[in-house]
């Protein structure tokens, strides 16, 4: 892109909001919302808080499944900063509902639902698994038990090159392979008993 | 359990239609009673939204599985949220009777 086209792009496109990338939701909520209870609550008169599906999914992945933002953003098919924004908005809405005693309605948002796909080795059909809590044993068409899960679009849980990083001792230069999820300062050098630091690959 | 199969014709000898929204007929097979219902697809000539309209029709018939050749990109999320299982079977020449036979073998 040269300067001229950049200029044109800026003049014509700056009024338009950026298009949102559809967020992938693998586990839709089992309820439509939440209601507060108590004697003084006149909850019907108050506007409910509307929590989007993407915000529910972000909240579920971070606080229930304990993924970090980087992993969760990859699973949701958005960038890490976008994920953090969605998550912050989810927390704000949930805290608002808690403090003000409002209902939560889970609906809307720019999302698409996605379920696991399987392939049968005997009849060659492809099928999905709509009941996420029940695991697939047999092919729904021919009943054969040799079914295989599609794996091409399943991301690794550690998509960074952190696996290549090393923990290094500042005293003697001893290195060991960095263990994912364990901070380097918790590791101790076997010779000088000093805490290690990170050496990026 | 009711299973919908997309068909090119209105008999059990007709072949499996590879398209979902624009197929000619839907064969709805009830696994418990063995009953077969054949309904013509009213949306086979519709240019847009044929798939989503067909999903509405089938979900009103309480279908829990659909056998077809391919499902469109608009239909997949709707079926996912309705908990309807999609089965994509790529064999064009298989008859509806054979598909029902396969479904019966599977206990």
- Encoded tokens for A45: 């008169």
- Do A148 and A190 lie in one domain? The reply is no
- Do A53 and A82 lie in one domain? The reply is yes
**Full domain range(s) for residue A32:** 20-112
- Do A127 and A183 lie in one domain? The reply is no
Residue A13 lies in a domain: no
The average pLDDT across A105-130 equals 78
Residue A55 lies in a domain: yes
For residue A159, name the pLDDT band (cuts at 50, 70, 90): very low
Q: Which of A128, A139, A150 should be substituted to probe chain B, the one whose Cβ sees the most B Cβ atoms within 10 Å?
A: A128
In whole angstroms, give the CA distance from residue B45 to residue B24.
9
Residue A81 lies in a domain: yes
How many helices (H) and strands (E) chain B has is answered by 3, 5
In whole angstroms, give the CA distance from residue A76 to residue A59.
12
- Do A29 and A94 lie in one domain? The reply is yes
For residue A7, name the pLDDT band (cuts at 50, 70, 90): low
- Do A26 and A51 lie in one domain? The reply is yes
- Do A27 and A94 lie in one domain? The reply is yes
Model confidence pLDDT, tens digit, residues A76-96: 888 999 999 999 999 999 999
The average pLDDT across A114-124 equals 77
In whole angstroms, give the CA distance from residue A58 to residue A87.
5
Using the Cβ of A130 and the Cβ atoms of chain B, whether some distance falls under 8 Å is answered with yes
- Do A26 and A97 lie in one domain? The reply is yes
Using the Cβ of B93 and the Cβ atoms of chain A, whether some distance falls under 8 Å is answered with no
- Do A101 and A29 lie in one domain? The reply is yes
Contact A33, A106 (CB under 8 A): yes
ipTM: 0.77
B2-105: CATH topology:
Nucleotidyltransferase; domain 5 (3.30.420)
- The A49-51 sheet, strands edge to edge: A33-34, A104-106, A49-51
Residue A2 lies in a domain: no
Domain ranges for chain B, please list them. Answer: 2-105
Residue A136, domain CATH: 2.20.28
Residues in chain B, pLDDT under 70: 106-107
Residue A10 lies in a domain: no
Residue A77 lies in a domain: yes
Backbone angles phi, psi at A104, to 5 degrees: -115, 130
Using the Cβ of B16 and the Cβ atoms of chain A, whether some distance falls under 8 Å is answered with no
- Do A108 and A120 lie in one domain? The reply is no
Size of interface A-B (CB pairs under 8 A): 53
- Please name the residue that has the structure tokens 């948002």: A109
What 3-state DSSP class applies to A198?
strand
The total domain count for chain A is: 3
- Do A136 and A104 lie in one domain? The reply is no
What 3-state DSSP class applies to A39?
coil
- Do A24 and A95 lie in one domain? The reply is yes
- Do A192 and A108 lie in one domain? The reply is no
Q: What whole-number percentage of chain B has pLDDT above 70?
A: 98
């Amino acid at each position: 892109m040269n300067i001229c086209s950049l200029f044109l792009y800026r003049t014509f496109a700056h009024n338009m909001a950026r298009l949102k990338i559809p967020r992938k939701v693998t586990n839709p909520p089992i309820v439509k919302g939440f209601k507060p209870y108590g004697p003084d609550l006149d909850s019907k008169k108050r506007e409910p808080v509307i929590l989007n599906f993407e915000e529910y999914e972000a909240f579920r992945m971070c606080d229930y499944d304990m993924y970090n933002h980087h992993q969760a953003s990859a699973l949701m098919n958005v960038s890490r900063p976008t994920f953090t924004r969605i998550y912050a908005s989810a927390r704000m809405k949930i805290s608002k509902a808690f403090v003000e005693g409002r209902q939560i309605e889970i609906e809307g948002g720019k999302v698409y639902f996605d379920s696991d796909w399987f392939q049968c080795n005997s009849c060659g059909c492809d099928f999905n698994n709509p009941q996420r809590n029940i695991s697939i044993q047999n092919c729904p068409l021919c009943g054969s038990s040799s079914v295989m899960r599609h794996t091409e679009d399943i991301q690794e849980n550690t998509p960074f090159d952190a696996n290549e990083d090393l923990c290094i001792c500042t005293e003697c230069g001893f290195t060991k392979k960095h263990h994912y999820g364990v901070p380097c300062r918790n590791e101790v050098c076997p010779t000088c008993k000093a805490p290690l630091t990170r050496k990026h690959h | 359990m009711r299973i919908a199969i997309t068909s090119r014709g209105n008999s059990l000898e007709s072949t499996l239609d590879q398209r979902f929204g624009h197929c000619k007929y839907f064969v709805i097979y009830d696994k418990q009673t063995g009953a077969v219902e054949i309904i013509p697809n009213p949306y086979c000539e519709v240019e847009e939204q044929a798939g989503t309209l067909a999903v509405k029709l089938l979900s009103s018939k309480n279908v829990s599985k659909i056998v077809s050749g391919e499902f469109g990109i608009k239909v997949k999320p709707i079926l996912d949220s309705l908990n309807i299982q999609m089965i994509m079977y790529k064999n064009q020449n298989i008859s509806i009777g054979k598909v029902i036979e396969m479904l019966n073998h599977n206990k």
